[in-house]
């Protein structure tokens, strides 16, 4: 999702507003549309039929069955994501 990550705020948008997902169990859906030429935000709101094509992009943050545990040790804070199953798993730190 580099396209979403690299976006800049609209002129006049409140500072500090970001796309943040609070529930990682459900995917994040984004609708992308392509238009002929440049349209202002006002023109997009009025003329929604002008799109040449549109698609919905789905981003999953965690696979089904993955569980997480809160990690708190001294000043360390985080979440440990564990895959389903009872076997030993290779980890990346």
In a domain, 49, yes or no: yes
**Whether pLDDT at 25 is above 60:** yes
Contact 47, 66 (CB under 8 A): no
In a domain, 86, yes or no: no
Q: To which residue do tokens 């997902």 refer? A: 21
In a domain, 47, yes or no: yes
CA angle 23, 25, 29 (to 5 degrees): 75
In a domain, 40, yes or no: yes
In a domain, 37, yes or no: yes
Split into its structural domains, the chain has a count of: 1
Span 28-53, pLDDT tens digits: 888 888 888 887 777 777 776 778 88
Give the CA diameter of the chain.
56
The pTM of this model reads 0.56
**Whether pLDDT at 23 is above 60:** yes
Question: 40-72 burial by CB neighbour count: b if 16+ within 10 A, else e?
Answer: eeeeeeeeeeeeeeeeeeeeeeeeeeeeeeeee
In a domain, 74, yes or no: no
**Whether pLDDT at 67 is above 60:** yes
Residue 28 domain boundaries: 2-61
């Amino acid at each position: 999702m580099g396209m979403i990550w690299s976006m800049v705020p609209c002129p006049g948008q409140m500072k500090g507003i970001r796309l943040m997902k609070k529930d990682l169990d459900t995917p994040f859906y984004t609708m992308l549309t392509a238009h002929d030429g440049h349209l202002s935000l006002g023109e997009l709101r009025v003329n929604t039929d002008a799109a040449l094509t549109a698609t919905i992009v789905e981003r999953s943050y965690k696979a089904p069955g993955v569980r997480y545990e809160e990690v708190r040790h001294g000043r360390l804070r985080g979440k440990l994501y564990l895959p389903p199953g009872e076997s030993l798993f290779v980890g990346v730190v």
